[in-house]
């Protein structure tokens, strides 16, 4: 990733980068401790706890967000925070589910 002073992404551009990668997520940008990704699991979310604090902004879809011992419904436009090291995953999500992912801060969280 190259460093830039500013950058914008449309959902279409991020989705195209994801489709081109053939993966469930792709990193779009890195600057300092910040990493910006788009994530779109298919059928099952197999992610494991992460080393950094994390913020999701739901692009499309709905479902249930499991974080620690809590379960919360989510919908397009919602913002979800997960502290570093907390087990979490998306369940029962709609086929159109996609989210921006922002990792930031030091390993172990802030």
Q: In the structure, what pLDDT confidence band is assigned to residue 4 with cuts at 50, 70 and 90?
A: low
Residue 3, in any domain of the structure: no
Residue pLDDT, tens place only, 37-95: 999 999 999 999 999 999 999 999 999 999 989 999 999 999 999 999 999 999 999 99
Mean pLDDT score of the chain, rounded to an integer? 93
Using CA atoms, how far apart are residues 88 and 67, in angstroms rounded to an integer?
Answer: 4
Domain with residue 44: its CATH number is 2.60.120.10
Q: Is residue 76 part of a domain?
A: yes
Give residue 86's domain range: 11-104
Tell me the pLDDT band of 20, cut-offs 50, 70 and 90: very high
Residue 36: per-residue pLDDT? 95
Overall domain count for the chain: 1
- Is residue 75 domain-resident? yes
């Amino acid at each position: 990733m190259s460093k830039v002073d500013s950058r914008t992404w449309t959902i279409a551009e991020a989705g195209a980068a994801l489709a081109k990668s053939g993966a469930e997520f792709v990193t779009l940008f890195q600057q300092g401790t910040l990493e910006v990704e788009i994530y779109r699991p298919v059928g099952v979310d197999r992610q494991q706890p992460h080393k950094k604090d994390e913020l999701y902004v739901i692009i499309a879809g709905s479902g249930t967000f499991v974080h620690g011992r809590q379960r919360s419904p989510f919908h397009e436009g919602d913002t979800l925070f997960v502290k570093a090291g907390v087990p979490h995953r998306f369940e029962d999500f709609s086929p159109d589910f996609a989210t921006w992912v922002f990792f930031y801060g030091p390993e172990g969280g802030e």
